């Protein structure tokens, strides 16, 4: 079936079967699992997921692809295909049909990466694990540690442990994209109580101008006296000349609790 490829949807289709096997193995998928497949495309990964005997909810935005998938897999009882933008899927009641321990898997449009990871990690029904095909450079940013921490890495690592499973060349896709990709596994962890809003308020302020000293960013953006920030630094053994990239998640968390006293 010929497809009218919609570049605006960021559609590229994974075709490398070795990579597909790697994704399935990484997911440790069992028949009792429920899988949320994001962007099934032509159904190459979907076919492999079906063979695991797990229950699959595949969310695809493109109506042409939805029609193709429903025809291709019309005899498969363990697959449900939903025509919807994944962002809208999480806004309405449909996502509530997912189990509490579902697993999210997908080859997603690169422009959607940060927002989608945020949706999954901040969802009240957080997945047990997340395995995504994303842009190589973005995957590398997500796993960064001090002294090369960044806002995206801090945002993801507050909620989860990310790890790059493998790199994927352009030739593994059709049509061939301009950049290389990576398979990343993101395993959610228990968040630290009710400090989410405090944490994100502080890291956004801290990374506002990453090249500046962190104390200056925090003072200006949070409207806190430098003397109060210095006291917090001293109690946490944070060097005065630190920049945002130098702090670990634990340091950011502790600093958030010291600097933001009231509910936000």
Average pLDDT score over residue span 2-14: 55
Whole-angstrom distance, CA of residue 257 vs CA of residue 9 = 41
Mean pLDDT of the chain: 91
**Domain 7-188, CATH among 3.40.50.300, 3.60.21.10, 3.40.50.150, 3.10.20.30:** 3.40.50.150
Average pLDDT score over residue span 23-27: 96
CATH architecture of the domain formed by 196-259: Orthogonal Bundle (1.10)
The pLDDT tens digits of the residues spanning 220-245 come to 999 999 999 999 999 999 999 999 99
Whole-angstrom distance, CA of residue 35 vs CA of residue 59 = 11
- Of 7-16, 24-33, 149-158, the poorest mean pLDDT is in 7-16
Peptide bond into 147 cis (omega under 30): yes
Confidence of residue 178 (pLDDT cuts 50, 70, 90): confident
Return the sign of the alpha-carbon dihedral for residues 111, 117, 118, 119. positive
The pLDDT tens digits of the residues spanning 186-220 come to 999 977 666 788 999 999 999 999 999 999 999 99
Whole-angstrom distance, CA of residue 60 vs CA of residue 37 = 9
- The position carrying tokens 């842009």 is 135
Confidence of residue 176 (pLDDT cuts 50, 70, 90): confident
Share of the chain above pLDDT 90, in %: 76
Q: Are strands 181-188 and 34-38 parallel, antiparallel or unpaired?
A: unpaired
Confidence of residue 94 (pLDDT cuts 50, 70, 90): low
Whole-angstrom distance, CA of residue 186 vs CA of residue 173 = 22
Confidence of residue 131 (pLDDT cuts 50, 70, 90): very high
User: What confidence score (pLDDT) does residue 10 get?
Assistant: 52
- First-last CA distance in the chain: 53
Q: Categorise residue 39: left if φ over 0, alpha if ψ from -120 to 50, beta otherwise.
A: left
Domains 7-188 and 196-259 share a fold: no
Q: Copy the structure tokens of residue 34.
A: 């429920």
Whole-angstrom distance, CA of residue 36 vs CA of residue 216 = 43
Ranges of each domain in the chain:
7-188, 196-259
Minimal CA–CA distance to 102: which of 163, 55, 157?
Answer: 55
């Amino acid at each position: 079936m010929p497809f009218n490829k919609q570049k605006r949807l960021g559609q590229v289709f994974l075709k490398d079967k070795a990579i597909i096997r790697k994704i399935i193995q990484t997911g440790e998928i069992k028949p009792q699992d429920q899988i949320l497949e994001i962007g099934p495309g032509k159904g190459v990964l979907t076919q492999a997921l079906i063979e695991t005997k797990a229950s699959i909810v595949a969310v695809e935005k493109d109506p042409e692809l939805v029609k193709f998938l429903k025809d291709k897999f019309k005899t498969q009882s363990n697959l449900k295909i939903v025509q919807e933008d994944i962002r809208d899927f999480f806004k309405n009641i449909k996502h509530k049909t997912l189990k509490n321990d579902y697993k999210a898997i997908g080859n997603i449009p690169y422009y959607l990466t940060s927002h989608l990871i945020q949706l999954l990690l901040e969802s009240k029904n957080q997945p047990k694990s997340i395995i995504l095909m994303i842009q190589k450079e973005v995957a590398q940013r997500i796993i960064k540690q001090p002294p090369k921490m960044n806002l995206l890495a801090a945002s993801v690592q507050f909620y989860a442990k990310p790890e790059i499973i493998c790199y994927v060349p352009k030739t593994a896709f059709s049509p061939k994209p301009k950049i290389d990709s990576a398979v990343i596994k993101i395993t959610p962890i228990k968040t630290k109580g009710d400090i989410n809003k405090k944490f994100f308020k502080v890291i956004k302020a801290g990374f506002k101008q990453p090249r500046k000293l962190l104390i200056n960013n925090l003072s200006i953006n949070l409207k806190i006296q430098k003397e109060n920030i210095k006291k917090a630094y001293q109690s946490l053994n944070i060097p005065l000349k630190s920049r945002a990239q130098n702090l670990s998640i634990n340091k950011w968390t502790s600093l958030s609790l010291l600097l933001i006293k009231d509910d936000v």
